[in-house]
Amino acid sequence: MSCANSGFIGYPILLLTLPSVAGVVLALNMMVANLVVIPLVLLLAERGRGDGGRWHAVVGKAFVRLAANPLLIAIVAASPCPPLGWRLPAAVARTVDLFALSSSALSLFVIGGTLVALPMRGLGRKIVPIAIGKLLLASAGGGARGVRAAGAGMPRSIRRCARRPC
């Protein structure tokens, strides 16, 4: 449940509500997910394989596999470009824009194709905890944070009334 669908769900909602910060928030979210969450998940997966070994050997194997991740290679390779003012050639930029504009439609095809290939029998025990976590717990946590953030911007008299009857 740690890898949210921030690019296709969270970003459009944030773009509608807070357009001035949506791009920065998405970029930071993607950086944390790709540089912190995914390495930790890979580390846990390596540990769960039960190869036995010391923790530093497990960490070393995880980082070797992580170093071969094309997404992280692209992030590291592209990081010096904006500060140096390097831009993509026009033809390459148009191609990247074309892929960016078609990525949401393409993702629906990939998700649909993946779901069609899954057998429906016996998945209940695997699906129910994820559905509860994603739909109920994550929504409740997000709603609580939203109410708390909204309350921080309210005048003191309204916040006082919200805590107890006026």
Query: What HEC string does 87-112 produce?
Result: CCCHHHHHHHHHHHHHHHHHHHHHHH
Residue 148's pLDDT is what? 64
Q: Hey, how many other C-beta atoms are within 10 angstroms of the C-beta on 47? A: 15
Averaged pLDDT, 80-96? 91
List all residues 6 or more positions away from 41 whose beta carbon is below 8 Å from its beta carbon: 2, 3
Model confidence pTM above 0.85: no
Given a contact cutoff of 8 angstroms between Cβ atoms, the answer to whether 11 and 28 are in contact is: no
Given a contact cutoff of 8 angstroms between Cβ atoms, the answer to whether 79 and 59 are in contact is: no
- Model confidence at 161: pLDDT above 70: no
pLDDT band at 69 (very low <50, low <70, confident <90, very high): confident
List all residues 6 or more positions away from 93 whose beta carbon is below 8 Å from its beta carbon: 87
Range 68-71, long-range pairs (CB < 8 A, 24+ positions): 69/38, 71/34
Q: Which residue has the higher pLDDT, 92 or 157?
A: 92
- Model confidence at 50: pLDDT above 90: no
Given a contact cutoff of 8 angstroms between Cβ atoms, the answer to whether 151 and 162 are in contact is: yes
Give residue-wise pLDDT tens across range 20-49: 888 888 888 888 887 788 778 877 777 777
DSSP character for 51? -
Q: One-letter amino acid identity for 59?
A: V
Residue 166's pLDDT is what? 44
Residue 93's pLDDT is what? 92
Averaged pLDDT, 88-101? 91
Residue 91's pLDDT is what? 94
